[in-house]
């Protein structure tokens, strides 16, 4: 029987093997020769190199660990039409989805796909003009060709790539990238060694110019897909270039990595005494291909102060794991469950928080908050915002001022015919008061509404903190601002309600969650009919859906569309669309 020290060495060795596997996987992916698919590996964690049809699996038991080689197994639920599991196919990428996946198309014949296999194992279509395929030619006239969509991550429009099928859906297939056969001139070397494996970034293989061009195009595409009356063609949907800064790495002021409960090894020595050893497999983020975690030593898009505290925390977690301290839930508080499974006798994993606040006023040193309930302060364009670290607040302090400027500029443009800027601003989904407080000095009155009671209270406190006395904030759902409006308490507007304000002098700012505005809220907005709507969104697709109703039902024109690159290297887009009430005498000055 192994001694306690031998068992400890075994656990450390297993952890080292897993780390080495991840490093090899990252290196191979960087070279463009890797196919990795963990979602179908069942009880073993395995990876596949494109030149092999075998998987290398790391297995462990209570007394030994070993490397074994075994054939790839087809998952039981795999649908074998139109492609076989792990079938290699060469495709050209035509476009990207809103999730950053590339789309390629392959001509199929109905009902089945006639293919041959080349010497390198790559499937290609049978050439109907090939005289060696007489039998197929005789039957092909009875079959109709159609284009089948194949989706693959980590590619660029225009590239020719070799992919490997891992899932067939009803109308498309999903595949992993095996090799880039013809690279785009926009392809660059990712800064992070885990790019393509970690699910945090989708675009590190693209130049920043290509990333922003695609984000501009995506905003236009989702608006065109809605076929909005008067905006059915690209010349009618003019999208401005994506706005951003040169800070395309080390910009993110918030990081939320995860870990699962450590793996537990219980063994018995020669005397019959049992002991337990633990190892923490990963602290990081979900993989790009599934929900399993990839170990991330540092994140290149996070700010340096956050990475410094994150690395210190990682060391502490590994030390606590080896001592068994992570395998007991804290008194009075359960750990957050991740992945729906319990490990190590009921202990669960957790989600960490690292959020950078303003520098310490006395020492000038960076402040990183790790407690969700701790209050912190972020200054945006000389206005201080104090909020709980766990509450929502944008986390790119380089691009955020650009967004604030754009919203304030759009909200304060003069209304032609009236000759003056609007006098009143209603900020729906106002959060901690970012847009309302930033624009307050330009308006007689600002009213904000926020469903999160804590955030609404923070907005009120932020108004006091910045000596702003013309803003009132209400905790309620967005539509309540119209259906059951609060009585105003701001000096000069006592006992009035928002319905009493001049609609032609009123701007409504929207900044809803990714799901967009509710139908109930939009109906109330149409009936309220403000002169201008300034709509910021983190979900361009739902914003486009709402824009269709705002234009066709509400009676507004789209006067500007501006995307923002709030999160470089990722698929995420912020989009600002400005609407003006369609009345001849009141039009915005462009």
How far apart are the C-alpha atoms of 34 and 25, rounded to whole Å?
Answer: 7
Q: What share of the chain is helix, strand, coil (3-state, %, to 5)?
A: 25, 30, 45
- How many CA atoms are closer than 13 Å to the CA of 309, on its beta-carbon side? 21
Residues 6 or more apart in contact with residue 76 via CB below 8 angstroms: none
- Is residue 397 classed as helix, strand or coil in its secondary structure? coil
In DSSP notation, 277-345 reads: EEE---EEEEBSSSSSEEE-S--TTB-HHHHHHHHHHHHHHHHHHHTTGGGSPPTT-PPPP-TT--BTT
Q: Alpha-carbon distance 40 to 76, whole Å? A: 9
List the binding residues for S-adenosyl-L-methionine: 394, 429, 450, 511
Which residue among the candidates 198, 299, 430, 538 is catalytic per the annotation? 538
Please give the angle made by the CA atoms of 85, 89 and 92, to the nearest 5 degrees.
140
Could you confirm whether 430 is annotated as catalytic? no
Q: At a CB cut-off of 8 Å and minimum separation 6, what does 169 contact?
A: 79
What residues form the annotated binding site?
394, 429, 450, 511
Q: Would you state the structure tokens that stand for residue 234, as one six-digit string?
A: 């690209």
Does residue 327 contact residue 278 with C-beta atoms inside 8 Å?
yes
Q: First-to-last CA distance in the chain?
A: 81
Catalytic residues: 538
């Amino acid at each position: 029987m192994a001694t306690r020290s031998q068992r400890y060495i075994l656990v450390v060795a297993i952890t080292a093997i897993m780390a080495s596997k991840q490093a090899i996987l990252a290196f191979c992916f960087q070279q463009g020769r890797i196919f990795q698919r963990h979602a179908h590996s069942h009880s073993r964690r395995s990876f596949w190199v494109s030149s092999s049809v075998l998987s290398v699996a790391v297995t462990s038991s209570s007394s030994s660990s070993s490397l074994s080689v075994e054939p790839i197994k087809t998952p039981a639920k795999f649908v074998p039409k139109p492609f076989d599991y792990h079938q290699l196919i060469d495709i050209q990428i035509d476009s990207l989805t809103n999730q950053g996946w590339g789309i390629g198309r392959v001509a199929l014949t109905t009902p089945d796909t006639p293919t041959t296999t080349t010497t390198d194992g790559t499937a290609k279509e049978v050439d109907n003009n090939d005289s060696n395929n007489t039998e197929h030619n005789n039957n092909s006239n009875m079959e109709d060709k159609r284009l089948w969509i194949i989706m693959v991550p980590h590619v660029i429009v225009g590239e020719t790539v070799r992919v490997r099928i891992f899932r067939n859906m009803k109308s498309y297939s999903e595949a992993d990238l095996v090799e880039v056969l013809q690279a785009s001139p926009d392809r660059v070397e990712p800064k992070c060694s885990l790019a393509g494996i970690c699910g945090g970034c989708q675009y590190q293989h693209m130049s920043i110019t290509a990333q922003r061009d695609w984000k501009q195009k995506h905003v236009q595409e989702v608006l065109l897909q809605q076929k909005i009356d008067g905006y059915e063609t690209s010349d009618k949907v003019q999208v401005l270039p994506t706005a951003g800064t040169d800070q395309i790495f080390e910009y993110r002021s918030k990081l939320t990595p995860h870990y699962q409960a450590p793996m537990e090894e219980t063994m018995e020595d020669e005397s019959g005494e049992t002991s337990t050893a633990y190892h923490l497999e990963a602290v990081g983020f979900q993989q790009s291909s599934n929900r399993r975690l990839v170990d991330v030593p540092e994140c290149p898009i996070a700010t340096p102060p956050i990475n410094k505290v994150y690395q210190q925390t990682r060391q502490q977690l590994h030390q606590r794991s080896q001592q068994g301290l992570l395998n007991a839930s804290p008194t009075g508080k359960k750990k957050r469950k991740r992945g729906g499974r319990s490990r190590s006798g009921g202990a669960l994993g957790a989600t960490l928080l690292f959020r950078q606040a303003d520098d310490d006023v006395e020492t000038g040193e960076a402040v990183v908050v790790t407690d969700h309930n701790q209050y912190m302060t972020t200054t945006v364009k000389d206005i201080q915002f104090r909020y709980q670290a766990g509450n929502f607040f944008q986390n790119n302090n380089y691009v955020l001022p650009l967004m604030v400027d754009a919203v304030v500029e759009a909200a304060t443009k003069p209304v032609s015919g009236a000759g003056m800027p609007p006098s009143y601003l209603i900020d729906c989904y106002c959060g901690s008061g970012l847009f309302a407080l930033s624009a307050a000095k330009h308006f007689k009155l600002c009213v904000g509404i926020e469903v999160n009671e804590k955030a609404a209270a923070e907005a009120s406190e932020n108004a006091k903190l910045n000596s702003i006395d013309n803003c009132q904030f209400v905790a309620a759902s967005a539509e309540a601002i119209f259906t059951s409006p609060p009585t105003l308490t701001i000096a000069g507007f006592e006992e009035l309600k928002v319905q009493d304000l001049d609609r032609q002098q009123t701007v409504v700012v929207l900044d809803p969650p990714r799901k967009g505005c509710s139908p109930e809220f939009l109906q109330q907005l149409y009936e309220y009919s403000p002169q201008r709507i300034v709509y910021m969104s983190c979900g361009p697709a739902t914003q486009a859906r709402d824009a269709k109703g705002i234009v066709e039902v509400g009676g507004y024109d789209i006067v500007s569309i501006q995307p923002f690159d709030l999160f470089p290297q990722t698929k995420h887009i912020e989009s600002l669309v400005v609407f003006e009430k369609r009345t001849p005498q009141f039009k915005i000055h462009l």
